[in-house]
Structure 1
Amino acid sequence: MNDDQVKGRVDQAKGAVKEAAGKVVGNPNLEAEGKVDKATGKTQATYGDVKEDVKDAVNGRRP
């Protein structure tokens, strides 16, 4: 697992917490910020997944 995968998944989790907290307290800005964090985290995690797949392919390993 590479840094992008880890950071992306951490950002997704933080985003989910922010989004839930925003819903609970009725703060649409916090909820929206959480959604953005989740989307950003998902993108970064996917990038990390692709990097790992490429690295594995170059090293002759199959996913």
Structure 2
Amino acid sequence: MSAIEKVKAKVEQLSGTVKKETGRAAGNDQTAAEGAGDKMHGNLREAKEAFQP
């Protein structure tokens, strides 16, 4: 896994978590769902990189 891709995945996970929690705190379900999706996308990016030869 290249260092750049690993950083991209971690940044996406962190931004997704922040967006999700901000949405929950504000009572905005759409923003919370978008944040959860962003975090999942970061998790998938990280998993994809872990399985590449």
Unmatched segments (≥5 aa) in structure 1: 55-63
Q: What TM-score comes out, normalization by structure 1 length?
A: 0.73
Larger radius of gyration: 1
Aligned pairs (5 A) from 1:5-20: 5-20=6-21
Q: What TM-score comes out, normalization by structure 2 length?
A: 0.85
Unmatched segments (≥5 aa) in structure 2: none
| Superposed CA offset, 1:9-58 (max 9, x none) | 1100000000000000001111000000011000001112223xx2xxxx
Structure 1 stretches of 4+ with a deviation exceeding 4 A read: none
RMSD: 1.2
